[in-house]
Protein backbone atom coordinates (compact mmCIF):
# COMPACT_ATOMS: atom_id res chain seq x y z
CA UNK A 1 0.00 0.00 0.00
CA UNK A 2 1.51 3.39 -1.05
CA UNK A 3 1.88 6.46 1.18
CA UNK A 4 -1.18 8.27 -0.25
CA UNK A 5 -3.34 5.23 0.42
CA UNK A 6 -2.06 5.12 4.01
CA UNK A 7 -2.94 8.76 4.52
CA UNK A 8 -6.39 8.17 3.07
CA UNK A 9 -6.97 5.27 5.44
CA UNK A 10 -5.81 7.31 8.45
CA UNK A 11 -8.15 10.12 7.39
CA UNK A 12 -11.13 7.75 7.24
CA UNK A 13 -10.32 6.34 10.67
CA UNK A 14 -10.07 9.86 12.11
CA UNK A 15 -13.36 10.88 10.50
CA UNK A 16 -15.08 7.84 12.00
CA UNK A 17 -14.00 8.87 15.53
CA UNK A 18 -16.24 10.89 17.76
CA UNK A 19 -14.68 14.00 19.32
CA UNK A 20 -14.53 12.20 22.67
CA UNK A 21 -12.77 9.14 21.17
CA UNK A 22 -10.25 11.37 19.41
CA UNK A 23 -9.51 13.29 22.62
CA UNK A 24 -9.01 10.05 24.56
CA UNK A 25 -6.70 8.67 21.85
CA UNK A 26 -4.51 11.80 21.87
CA UNK A 27 -4.49 11.89 25.67
CA UNK A 28 -3.46 8.22 25.73
CA UNK A 29 -0.52 8.91 23.45
CA UNK A 30 0.63 11.81 25.62
CA UNK A 31 0.27 9.71 28.78
CA UNK A 32 2.31 6.84 27.34
CA UNK A 33 5.02 9.23 26.13
CA UNK A 34 5.21 10.89 29.55
CA UNK A 35 5.34 7.51 31.30
CA UNK A 36 8.18 6.33 29.06
CA UNK A 37 10.11 9.58 29.60
CA UNK A 38 9.62 9.37 33.38
CA UNK A 39 10.76 5.73 33.40
CA UNK A 40 13.92 6.53 31.46
CA UNK A 41 14.73 9.49 33.68
CA UNK A 42 14.20 7.37 36.81
CA UNK A 43 16.43 4.65 35.46
CA UNK A 44 19.20 7.08 34.64
CA UNK A 45 18.99 8.70 38.05
CA UNK A 46 19.38 12.20 36.56
CA UNK A 47 17.16 15.27 36.77
CA UNK A 48 14.68 15.92 33.99
CA UNK A 49 15.91 18.61 31.60
CA UNK A 50 13.48 20.91 29.82
CA UNK A 51 13.93 22.68 26.50
CA UNK A 52 14.34 21.40 22.96
CA UNK A 53 18.12 21.77 23.06
CA UNK A 54 18.60 20.13 26.46
CA UNK A 55 20.56 16.90 26.62
CA UNK A 56 21.08 14.36 29.38
CA UNK A 57 24.74 14.71 30.26
CA UNK A 58 25.16 11.44 32.14
CA UNK A 59 24.62 8.28 30.15
CA UNK A 60 26.05 5.84 32.68
CA UNK A 61 28.35 4.42 29.99
CA UNK A 62 31.93 4.09 31.21
CA UNK A 63 35.21 4.52 29.31
CA UNK A 64 38.48 2.79 30.21
CA UNK A 65 41.99 4.24 29.95
CA UNK A 66 45.53 3.15 30.75
CA UNK A 67 47.53 5.43 33.03
CA UNK A 68 51.28 5.41 33.66
CA UNK A 69 53.75 7.76 35.34
CA UNK A 70 52.52 7.49 38.94
CA UNK A 71 54.81 6.69 41.86
CA UNK A 72 55.31 2.90 41.81
CA UNK A 73 57.20 2.91 45.12
CA UNK A 74 54.17 3.98 47.20
CA UNK A 75 51.52 1.62 48.62
CA UNK A 76 48.80 0.65 46.20
CA UNK A 77 45.92 2.25 48.09
CA UNK A 78 47.89 5.52 48.44
CA UNK A 79 48.57 5.68 44.70
CA UNK A 80 44.94 4.98 43.82
CA UNK A 81 43.75 7.70 46.20
CA UNK A 82 46.33 10.16 44.82
CA UNK A 83 45.03 9.55 41.29
CA UNK A 84 41.43 10.06 42.43
CA UNK A 85 42.31 13.34 44.11
CA UNK A 86 44.40 14.62 41.19
CA UNK A 87 41.70 13.98 38.60
CA UNK A 88 39.08 15.43 40.95
CA UNK A 89 41.17 18.61 41.25
CA UNK A 90 40.90 18.85 37.45
CA UNK A 91 37.12 18.47 37.58
CA UNK A 92 37.04 14.79 36.56
CA UNK A 93 35.43 12.10 38.69
CA UNK A 94 37.08 8.70 38.45
CA UNK A 95 34.45 5.97 38.70
CA UNK A 96 37.22 3.46 39.37
CA UNK A 97 41.01 3.35 39.51
CA UNK A 98 43.03 0.16 39.77
CA UNK A 99 46.78 0.01 40.23
CA UNK A 100 48.03 -3.56 40.15
CA UNK A 101 50.59 -5.37 42.26
CA UNK A 102 53.21 -7.83 41.05
CA UNK A 103 54.66 -10.24 43.59
CA UNK A 104 58.28 -11.34 43.20
CA UNK A 105 58.57 -14.37 45.45
CA UNK A 106 62.35 -14.58 45.08
CA UNK A 107 62.72 -11.16 46.73
CA UNK A 108 59.66 -11.56 49.00
CA UNK A 109 58.50 -8.14 47.84
CA UNK A 110 55.49 -6.65 46.12
CA UNK A 111 55.92 -4.02 43.42
CA UNK A 112 53.37 -1.89 41.62
CA UNK A 113 52.84 -2.49 37.92
CA UNK A 114 53.74 0.53 35.77
CA UNK A 115 50.38 0.27 34.01
CA UNK A 116 47.18 1.13 35.84
CA UNK A 117 43.57 1.45 34.70
CA UNK A 118 41.20 4.37 35.23
CA UNK A 119 37.50 4.51 34.40
CA UNK A 120 35.40 7.63 33.80
CA UNK A 121 31.95 8.50 32.50
CA UNK A 122 32.03 8.45 28.72
CA UNK A 123 31.32 12.19 28.66
CA UNK A 124 34.53 12.86 30.63
CA UNK A 125 36.89 10.80 28.47
CA UNK A 126 38.06 13.67 26.24
CA UNK A 127 38.84 15.88 29.25
CA UNK A 128 40.72 13.05 30.98
CA UNK A 129 42.88 12.46 27.89
CA UNK A 130 43.83 16.15 27.89
CA UNK A 131 45.78 15.48 31.11
CA UNK A 132 48.30 13.48 29.07
CA UNK A 133 51.76 14.75 30.06
CA UNK A 134 50.54 16.65 33.12
CA UNK A 135 52.48 16.69 36.40
CA UNK A 136 50.52 15.30 39.36
CA UNK A 137 53.29 16.29 41.75
CA UNK A 138 56.53 14.76 42.93
CA UNK A 139 57.83 14.63 39.38
CA UNK A 140 55.14 12.13 38.32
CA UNK A 141 54.30 12.91 34.71
CA UNK A 142 51.13 11.13 33.61
CA UNK A 143 50.87 9.10 30.43
CA UNK A 144 47.20 8.51 29.60
CA UNK A 145 45.83 6.60 26.61
CA UNK A 146 42.37 5.31 25.70
CA UNK A 147 41.94 1.57 26.24
CA UNK A 148 38.37 0.53 25.23
CA UNK A 149 36.93 -2.62 26.76
CA UNK A 150 37.10 -4.32 23.35
CA UNK A 151 40.86 -3.70 23.20
CA UNK A 152 43.05 -6.45 24.69
CA UNK A 153 46.54 -5.69 23.41
CA UNK A 154 47.78 -5.14 26.99
CA UNK A 155 46.31 -8.35 28.42
CA UNK A 156 49.80 -9.85 28.67
CA UNK A 157 50.83 -6.92 30.90
CA UNK A 158 47.92 -7.31 33.32
CA UNK A 159 47.78 -11.14 33.31
CA UNK A 160 50.56 -11.63 35.94
CA UNK A 161 48.73 -9.30 38.33
CA UNK A 162 45.37 -11.09 38.29
CA UNK A 163 46.36 -13.73 40.84
CA UNK A 164 47.03 -11.06 43.46
CA UNK A 165 43.62 -9.53 42.71
CA UNK A 166 41.67 -12.79 42.92
CA UNK A 167 40.83 -12.25 46.60
CA UNK A 168 40.50 -8.48 46.34
CA UNK A 169 37.00 -7.38 47.27
CA UNK A 170 35.62 -4.16 45.85
CA UNK A 171 32.36 -2.42 46.68
CA UNK A 172 30.44 -0.86 43.79
CA UNK A 173 27.74 1.77 44.18
CA UNK A 174 25.10 0.92 41.55
CA UNK A 175 22.16 3.30 40.95
CA UNK A 176 19.07 3.03 38.78
CA UNK A 177 17.06 0.43 40.68
CA UNK A 178 13.62 1.52 41.90
CA UNK A 179 12.28 0.04 45.14
CA UNK A 180 8.79 1.31 44.25
CA UNK A 181 8.75 -1.13 41.32
CA UNK A 182 10.62 -4.05 42.88
CA UNK A 183 11.31 -5.10 46.45
CA UNK A 184 14.80 -5.03 47.92
CA UNK A 185 14.83 -8.84 47.92
CA UNK A 186 13.92 -8.96 44.22
CA UNK A 187 16.68 -6.46 43.38
CA UNK A 188 19.18 -8.52 45.35
CA UNK A 189 18.11 -11.62 43.40
CA UNK A 190 18.62 -9.75 40.10
CA UNK A 191 22.11 -8.70 41.16
CA UNK A 192 23.07 -12.22 42.26
CA UNK A 193 22.00 -13.59 38.86
CA UNK A 194 24.00 -10.98 36.97
CA UNK A 195 27.04 -11.34 39.26
CA UNK A 196 27.15 -14.89 40.69
CA UNK A 197 28.82 -15.06 44.08
CA UNK A 198 28.43 -11.34 44.73
CA UNK A 199 27.19 -9.75 47.92
CA UNK A 200 24.59 -7.00 47.76
CA UNK A 201 22.91 -4.46 50.04
CA UNK A 202 20.01 -2.36 48.71
CA UNK A 203 19.32 1.06 50.20
CA UNK A 204 15.95 2.82 50.23
CA UNK A 205 15.44 4.45 46.86
CA UNK A 206 17.17 1.66 44.95
CA UNK A 207 20.88 2.40 45.31
CA UNK A 208 22.69 -0.94 45.66
CA UNK A 209 26.10 -1.62 47.15
CA UNK A 210 27.47 -4.66 45.31
CA UNK A 211 30.53 -6.55 46.55
CA UNK A 212 32.66 -8.33 43.93
CA UNK A 213 35.95 -10.21 43.96
CA UNK A 214 38.68 -9.78 41.35
CA UNK A 215 39.34 -7.28 38.59
CA UNK A 216 37.47 -9.31 35.94
CA UNK A 217 34.23 -9.23 37.95
CA UNK A 218 34.57 -5.49 38.52
CA UNK A 219 35.21 -4.86 34.82
CA UNK A 220 32.14 -6.89 33.86
CA UNK A 221 30.06 -4.67 36.14
CA UNK A 222 31.56 -1.52 34.63
CA UNK A 223 30.74 -2.78 31.14
CA UNK A 224 27.09 -3.18 32.15
CA UNK A 225 26.86 0.44 33.32
CA UNK A 226 24.35 2.27 31.16
CA UNK A 227 22.60 -0.97 30.25
CA UNK A 228 19.47 -2.73 31.45
CA UNK A 229 19.27 -5.22 34.31
CA UNK A 230 15.84 -6.70 35.05
CA UNK A 231 14.12 -3.78 33.33
CA UNK A 232 16.13 -1.13 35.20
CA UNK A 233 18.69 1.07 33.47
CA UNK A 234 21.61 0.96 35.87
CA UNK A 235 24.79 2.98 36.29
CA UNK A 236 27.91 2.15 38.28
CA UNK A 237 28.35 5.45 40.09
CA UNK A 238 31.48 4.61 42.06
CA UNK A 239 33.87 1.81 42.98
CA UNK A 240 34.85 2.25 46.61
CA UNK A 241 38.50 2.61 47.63
CA UNK A 242 40.28 -0.39 49.13
CA UNK A 243 41.63 -0.78 52.61
CA UNK A 244 43.56 -3.49 54.41
CA UNK A 245 41.71 -5.73 56.84
CA UNK A 246 43.44 -8.11 59.24
CA UNK A 247 42.80 -11.84 59.06
CA UNK A 248 39.75 -12.82 61.09
CA UNK A 249 37.79 -9.59 60.57
CA UNK A 250 36.82 -10.48 57.00
CA UNK A 251 34.40 -13.45 56.58
CA UNK A 252 36.48 -15.32 54.00
CA UNK A 253 39.89 -14.42 55.40
CA UNK A 254 40.51 -17.66 57.29
CA UNK A 255 39.67 -19.85 54.31
CA UNK A 256 41.99 -17.75 52.15
CA UNK A 257 44.75 -18.05 54.74
CA UNK A 258 44.26 -21.84 54.97
CA UNK A 259 44.84 -22.09 51.22
CA UNK A 260 48.15 -20.28 51.52
CA UNK A 261 46.83 -16.92 50.35
CA UNK A 262 48.17 -13.59 51.73
CA UNK A 263 47.46 -12.91 55.41
CA UNK A 264 46.00 -9.52 54.56
CA UNK A 265 42.81 -9.18 52.59
CA UNK A 266 42.11 -6.03 50.59
CA UNK A 267 38.52 -4.90 50.79
CA UNK A 268 36.35 -1.83 50.30
CA UNK A 269 35.45 0.81 52.84
Contact 68, 142 (CB under 8 A): yes
Contact 91, 103 (CB under 8 A): no
Transcribe 186-241 into DSSP letters. Answer: HHHHHHHHHSTT-EEEE-TTS-EEEEEESHHHHHHHHHHTTSEETTEE-EEEEEPP
Task: Give the C-alpha separation, 60 to 206, whole Å.
Answer: 16
Written as tens digits, the pLDDT of the chain (269 aa) is 454 544 444 444 445 555 545 554 544 444 333 333 333 333 333 333 233 333 334 578 999 999 999 999 899 999 999 999 999 999 999 999 999 987 655 455 678 899 999 999 999 999 999 999 999 998 999 999 999 999 999 999 988 777 767 778 899 999 999 999 999 999 999 999 988 889 999 998 889 999 998 888 999 999 999 999 888 999 999 999 876 544 444 444 433 433 444 434 445 44
Closest to 65 (Cα-Cα) out of 141, 126, 4 = 126
pLDDT at site 103: 62
pLDDT at site 120: 98
Amino acid sequence: MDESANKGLESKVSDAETPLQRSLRILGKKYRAAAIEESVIKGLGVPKLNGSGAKIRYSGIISRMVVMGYNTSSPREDVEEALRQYFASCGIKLIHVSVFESVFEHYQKTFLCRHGLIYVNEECEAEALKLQGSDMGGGCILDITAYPFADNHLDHVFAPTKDSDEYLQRGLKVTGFDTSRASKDDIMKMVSKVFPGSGCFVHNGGCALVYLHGQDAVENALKLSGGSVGGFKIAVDKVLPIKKVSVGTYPNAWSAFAEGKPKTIMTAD
